[in-house]
Structure 1
Amino acid sequence: MTARLNRLVCRFDPAQIDSSRDLPAALSDALDITLPGLQLQAAGPDIRFDRSSRQLVVQIGRPTVQDPALASAYASAGPSALLDALINDPIGLANSLGGRFALLWIDLDRARLGCLNDRFATHPLCWAVEASAIAVASRADAVPIRQREIDPQAIFDYLYFHVIPAPRTIFRGVARLEPGHMLSRDSVGLRDTQWWQPRFTQTPVSDIDTLKAQFVGAIRGAVERESSGSGRVAAFLSGGTDSSTVIGMLRDVSGEQPRGYSIGFDTAGYDEMEYARIAAKAYGVDHREYYITAQDLVSHIPTVAASYDQPFGNSSALPAYCLGLMARADGYDKLLAGDGGDELFGGNARYAKQKVFELYQAIPAAIRSSLIEPVAGAGWASRIPGVSKACSYVEQARMSPLARTEQYNLLQRLGQDSVLGPQFRALTDADAPLQLRRRVWDGVRADTVLDHELGFDWRFTLADNDLPKVIGTTSLAGLDVGFPLLNEDLIAIALSLPDAMKLKGFKLRWFFKDALRGFLPDEILTKKKHGFGLPFGHWALSDPALRTLSRDSVHGLVDRGILQRGFVDALFGELLPAHPGYYGEMVWIGMMLEQWLRANAPDTRF
């Protein structure tokens, strides 16, 4: 039996386990078990119980098993084949699995519970501890605790990151398991262990043609696995390198005309439908286009905002949701997404910019300190056109790569003292996001700045942001989703690939693009990355209904004491009209926060 999990709620108290009680012999898809020390509810999981050992395993998602012997056993017995390894060597087992999955297991005789997630936490597990009991659920708002309170620090983190990164959640005392982690609870205590910590190496490539063939084969194999046994499968198609690769491989492995879904924007500078059409023509795609409007946002924003288990501020969630609705209405069961290519193989413009700053560090220190930096730091220099740009370059080049990203943070640039309500600010720690960022950066096992940047983005860009965006909106539309470019074989290649093959000179994603030259259209190989960007700021100024929704929502945060009225007045009266693309993001995250609070915690005040 294989089924997709819709809901998991478990409360386990090792101090209360009754060793004389047994589980029912038959466990259905809709599971509801109550025993002394154990309450377990699950709708639609793949679950197995071994009566002789009194051990239980719940599988969320569908992992790929890399060990041949275990894979054979798993193919015939399902999750039961994993039980012995989960009880005796869960970390070893986790490292032999790939794909999207989470596992929860219970050993009644040992009064022990364990759970773990995959490398990018694509199936979330949230948890809380009360006295001797541990509560685990697939959503933060489903964790069974006696009192559910909004955590002001989580709201601060949201305004900083535009999401709430693990391990914090919006609820005080409820944590989210970090990517590649395992949690266990027994009579001895609680342990949170990192079972997967990627190690980047700069491994010389002796045969690049063979490596390219392995790379292309890994993509092909991943697309084949993601599209088999999943019902009707289509793909997102933005016209970028990643989505074009996935849909082209979908054509090859299926031998049929693939269906692709693309979003367009009738706003100058945002629409890239022409590239989606190029890919569609190249691969014979049955291409469906949807031009999203401000009216779509007004209709869907409250639904999408409320659907997440905590505030979520990625603005491209709305386009993804609209495409998901289209695909579901057309009878599709799953969409393939191209997320991961940039973060695995060096496709972000920041990576090339860092290389520019490294040129400055190559200048002899004596010249930098005695000549360049005194001039750059002089007040008169910053007032001279042309020279001011050079001064900014020197200032940024002197920063650490991690600190440099801080200057683009909206909350930092606007100034917390002028943005946040004083009572709310007094309840929060402004340094907490910086401490988390530093912990993640320092935890990346890498020898180069580029690999540190990649590992950092695997966490904050992929696991905490882009993947939950796609997973949440496709699920809301009634679809499953697959990420072929995040399969374990491609991760292994990315971990060993030298910097010079990820970023050749200033050419982003050189190896990825060179390996697919001849497969991808030349226009797509040379285009600049754009994706499903949303012209929200422009529409919030021009569309009356969206303007009303956004103003009303953000002013709601003033009434809650989260934002200052003077800042919000300036945001709509001055900042947004002057720079709608930039300050529209601040309006968006405020609006989505307020919409979530209205639906899930309407009495929140500070």
Structure 2
Amino acid sequence: MSGLCGWLAAHEAPDATRANARLIARMAAPLSRYDASALTAVVGNGSAAAVAAGAGASHLYHKDGLLIALWGRPQLAGAPGADPALAARMAQLWRNYGATACASLAGPFALCILDEFANEALLAVDRGGVHALHYQCTPQQGLLFASSAEALAAHPGAARALDPQALYNYLYFHMVPGPGAVYAGQRRLLPGEYLHYRAGKLSRAAYWTMAYQECETLPFKTLKAEFLGTLRRAVERSVEGAGAGTGTFLSGGTDSSTLAAVLGQVSGRPARSYSIGFDAPGYDEMAYARLAARHFGTVHHERYVTADDIVDAVPRIAAVFDQPFGNASAVAAYCCAQMARADGVTRLLGGDGGDELFGGNERYARQALFARYDRVPSLLRQVIVEPLLFKVAVGQRHKLLCKARSYIEQASLPLPARMESYNLLQRYGHRSVLEDDFLRDVDPDAPLASLNEAYWLTQGHSQINQMLAMDMKFTLADNDLPKVAGACELAGVEAAFPFLDDAMVAFSARLAPRQKLKGTRLRYFFKQALRDTLPPAILRKEKHGFGLPFGLWVQQHQGLRQLAFDSLSDLKGRGIVRAGFIDTLQSRHLAEHPAYHGTMVWVLMMLEQWLRQHHDGAADFVRGRDERESAGG
């Protein structure tokens, strides 16, 4: 996995350069395991940093006790393009502005600045969270950091015990959300955040936050021209340095179809597009991808993923992610990237971010419907509607009455808790799923508390912008971006995300709420602006994504069933999930509703697969929340 790593020691050791060079190479080894990216390092007596990255994505500086490492393809804000002396310019910005120097960077990056003489350091990541940084701080070791938990854990002073809360959060979210990490004592920077370390003390702060303006008044024609120009420039920046080696995912949705169109315009030749299909009813969307490919004249490639492909991919997927990751569509993304790599593609454009910027997720419309109930006068709700449905007609099983009760029950819950009513772990009940000993060191309310924090701390005052801000973190930075980046890494392809270009993000923040969600019409401005570009069928298409027919196939395919059930059998002995729950899940729930309960089978299977790949032996937990958090700051 490409990335950066290093440390700033609490105490400088004389003549430690040679030992430090060996240690930084050990930490960096996991970063280039899959793509064999070039490794460059800078080493001092009390610090070291290394970057593993492809050409043009590594920037280092070392002079007078100041070490700077920068991973990614950023540029200084306002600069016309890539700057080969970027790390040296960051050295000057650090001297002039200190910790806020990172705010001068635009684009995807992870940054470390290590000042040995002042015993001071700065870590930062980009605004969208495209790149990650884990860190750990102890009085004995100082500050340790790396783009992946595995690279950080390779330092002899790093913690290797698992954090029970992180595993609980994984079972709730199907990934480990930041700032938490799977290893106790490790923490992660959030998008647009920096960490300042000085003389053993840590401070975290946001150098950037999404500032929703909510009252755009420019005419549509003006906005459309600005949007299309911004989009074109974002794609141009995303393909810089890759040229003909650039391709694009093409699902047939609005985002990927838009990128296929603009990529062709920017490159002056037909875009190279890649699509995945499933030979299963309700899961195959290849027809939309073909429609887009024909419409834009792309050089199109298709692959149908089979159950055998899943059996082959599961251990690989578990290995490439440095934390447990349960999004099954990572397999489809990997197979797609694998196909592109075999075709000579070195960089793939992903449409991730479009939904979270312009209002494209179906739940936004659904929650807008629920919000209408809040506008019904409280006297009418409490005196007439609710007593009629829940008391007078309590015994009635009429379909419309049942729907009305369900609507009011959900509408009465506050956001974001209302969106979690279908959460699998909540539906089963965490005490029915998890062992008592495991739960003793877990706060079951922590996941919802983190959702509440993201929802209510946003600068957006409208419901749609609050939901978008929450999804920018949990859906995008914690889930979709790691999914695509990890899948591409495994296939040896670099991922790029034009919709997360800083200018595009800033443009979306200026749109009024009604331009993102008009009534229940999703992506209103986005679709209106692209009416002359996208085929009508794609503009009308409902969102689907790379859903995997795992629940269906696990019952039909012997090899996949054996892989899943063997994994769950081994998971029983780790002291996390109750054996009785696993037995019931396999023997009864899965047969009752394969698609629904198959998700939990997948999540548990991937947890066991991850533990096998990254954490040999029985699960080793740190007990006690204070101990888990003390090292992370």
Name the TM tier (shorter chain): over 0.9
Structure 1 residue aligned with 2:374: 361
**Alpha-carbon separation, structure 2, partners of 1:470 and 1:235:** 12
Contact residue 40 and residue 52 of structure 2 kept, 8 A: yes
Q: Does 1:166 align with 2:178?
A: yes
2:584 pairs with one of 570, 594, 600 = 570
- The residue matched to 1:190 in structure 2 has which SS? strand
Residue identity opposite 2:222 in structure 1: T
Structure 1 residue 492: Cα displacement: 1.3
Cα deviation for residue 14 of structure 1 reads: 4.3
Higher mean C-alpha displacement, 437-446 vs 453-462 = 437-446
Deviations 1:372-399 (A, max 9, x none): 1223333825633320110111111111
Q: Kindly indicate whether residue 6 of structure 2 is the aligned counterpart of residue 10 of structure 1.
A: yes
CA deviation string 1:531-566 (max 9, x = no partner): 111111000111111011111112222121211122
Tell me the residue number matched to 2:626.
none
**Corresponding position of 2:49:** 40
Instruction: Please give the TM-score of this superposition, normalised by the length of structure 2.
Output: 0.90
**Deviation for aligned residue 1:188:** 5.8
Residue of 226, 251, 267 corresponding to 1:214: 226
Matched, 1:224 2:236: yes
SS of 1:156's partner is helix
Give secondary structure in 2 for the equivalent of 1:290.
strand
Whichever residue aligns with residue 317 of structure 1, its letter is A
Q: What is the correspondence of 1:313-324 to structure 2 with a 5 Å cutoff?
A: 313-324=326-337
1:447-486 CA-partner distances (Å, limit 9, x unpaired): 1111100000000000000000000110111110110111
1:244-301 deviations in whole A, cap 9, x for unaligned? 0001100011111111000001011111100000000011111100000000000110
* Compared CA separation, residues 372 and 249, structure 1 to 2 (3 A): same
Which residue among 541, 549, 561 is the counterpart of 1:535?
A: 549
Structure 1 stretch 376-385 or stretch 498-507: which is displaced more? 376-385
SS at match of 2:386: helix
Residue matched to 2:112: 104
* Alignment-mate amino acid for residue 202 of structure 2: L
- Amino acid in the other structure paired with 1:201: Q
**Which of 41, 65, 75 pairs up with 2:76?**
65
C-alpha distance in 2, partners of 1:76/1:401?
A: 46
| Distance in 1 (alpha carbons) for counterparts of 2:313 and 2:323 | 17
> Which residue is equivalent to 1:559?
573
CA separation in 2, counterparts of 1:48 and 1:346?
38
How far, CA to CA, are the matches of 1:252 and 1:356 in structure 2? 39
Name the structure 2 match of 1:274: 287
Count of aligned residue pairs for this structure pair: 596
Number of the residue aligned with 1:374: 387
State the Cα distance separating 1:33 from its structure 2 match: 5.0
d(CA) in 1 for partners of 2:17, 2:160: 31
Q: CA deviation at 1:503?
A: 1.1
Q: Specify the alignment match of 1:189 in structure 2.
A: 201
* 1:79 and 2:87 matched: yes
When residues 76 and 590 of structure 1 are mapped into structure 2, their CA distance, relative to the original with a 3 A threshold, is closer
**How far, CA to CA, are the matches of 2:259 and 2:59 in structure 1?**
32
Q: 2:459 aligns with which of 445, 457, 460?
A: 445
Give the match for residue 189 of structure 2: 177
Matched residues in 2 for 1:146 and 1:222: separation?
A: 38
SS at structure 2 position matched to 1:387: helix
| 1:434 pairs with 2:448 | yes
Q: 2:131, 2:147 within 8 Å by CA — same for their partners in 1?
A: yes
Residue 122 of structure 1 is matched in structure 2 by: 130
| Alignment match, 2:531 | 517
Q: Does 1:153 align with 2:165?
A: yes
SS in 2 for 1:603: coil
Structure 1 stretches lacking a partner, 5+ long: none
After superposition, the Cα gap between the structure-2 partners of 1:90 and 1:578, relative to the gap in structure 1 and judged at 3 Å, is farther
Tell me the equivalent position of 1:200: 212
Q: Contact conserved, 1:15 with 1:187, CA < 8 A, in 2?
A: no
Distance 2:60 2:49 in 1: 13
Greater shift after overlay, 394-403 or 104-113?
104-113
TM-score (normalizing by structure 1): 0.94
Residue 139 (structure 2) pairs with residue 131 (structure 1): yes
CA contact 2:150–2:322 (8 Å) conserved in 1 = yes
Counterpart of 2:83, as a letter, is A
Q: Trace 1:308-457 onto structure 2 (pairs within 5 A).
A: 308-378=321-391, 380-381=394-395, 383-457=397-471
Matching residue's letter, 1:529 = K
1:293 alignment counterpart: 306
Q: Which moved more, 1:455-464 or 1:406-415?
A: 406-415
Deviates more, 1:302-311 or 1:157-166: 302-311
Q: Percent identity?
A: 41
Deviation at 1:582, TM superposition (A): 1.0
C-alpha separation between the residues in 2 aligned to 1:540 and 1:188?
A: 51
Equivalent-residue separation in structure 2 for 1:365 and 1:415 (angstroms): 32
Q: Please show how residues 14-33 of structure 1 align to structure 2 within 5 Å.
A: 14-16=10-12, 30-33=39-42
Whether 2:261 is the aligned partner of 1:248: answer yes
2-structure distance, mates of 1:76, 1:288: 35
Measure, in 2, the Cα distance between the counterparts of 1:583 and 1:426. Answer: 26
* Letter aligned with residue 175 of structure 2: V
Which residue in 1 is equivalent to 2:631? none
SS at match of 1:192: strand
Matched, 1:477 2:491: yes
Secondary structure at 1:136's aligned position in 2? strand
Report how far residue 34 of structure 1 moved.
4.8
Of stretches 411-420 and 34-43 in structure 1, the one that deviates more from structure 2 is 34-43
CA contact (8 A) 1:258 1:285 kept: yes
CA distance in 2, matches of 1:211, 1:147: 50
Rounded Cα–Cα distance in structure 1 between residues aligned with 2:379 and 2:409: 17
Q: CA RMSD in A?
A: 2.3
1:551-587 deviation digits (Å, cap 9, x = unpaired): 1112222121211122112212221111111111101
Task: Report the more deviating stretch, 507-516 or 564-573.
Answer: 564-573
User: 1:456–1:7: structure 2 CA closer, same or farther, 3 Å change rule?
Assistant: closer
Separation in structure 1 between the aligned mates of residue 269 and residue 38 of structure 2, nearest angstrom: 33
Query: Deviation digits for residues 401-438 of structure 1, max 9, x if unmatched?
Result: 21101211110011111111222122311112122112
* Separation in 1, partners of 2:48, 2:425: 42
Equivalent position SS for 1:47: strand
Whole-Å Cα distance in 2 between the matches of residues 573 and 77 of structure 1?
61
CA distance in 1, matches of 2:613, 2:282: 34
Q: Is 1:381–1:387's contact at 8 Å kept on the other side of the alignment?
A: no
Q: 1:93 to 1:11 in 2, by over 3 A?
A: closer
Tell me if the contact between 2:3 and 2:71 (Cα under 8 Å) persists in the aligned partners.
no
Moved more, 277-286 or 392-401: 392-401
**Contact 1:344/1:494 (8 A) holds in 2:** yes
Bigger shift: residues 202-211 or 299-308: 202-211
Structure 1 position 141 matched with structure 2 position 150? yes
Distance 1:266 1:486, change over 3 A: same
Contact 1:201-1:498 at 8 Å conserved across structures: yes
Distance, in Å, in 2 between the alignment partners of 1:348 and 1:248 is 22
Using the alignment, how far apart are the partners of 1:309 and 1:116 within structure 2? 20
Which residue type is aligned with residue 356 of structure 1? L
Q: Measured at CA, do residues 583 and 568 of structure 1 come closer, stay the same or move farther in structure 2, by a change above 3 Å?
A: same
Match of 2:27 in 1: none
1: CA distance between counterparts of 2:502 and 2:382?
46
Distance (whole Å) between structure 2 residues aligned to residue 401 and residue 498 of structure 1: 21
What is the DSSP-based 3-state SS (H/G/I as helix, E as strand, rest coil) of the residue aligned with 1:401?
A: coil
**Partner residue in 2 for 1:302:** 315
CA distance in 1, matches of 2:189, 2:523: 31
Residue identity in the other structure for 2:373: Y
Contact 2:438–2:576, Cα closer than 8 Å, also in 1: yes
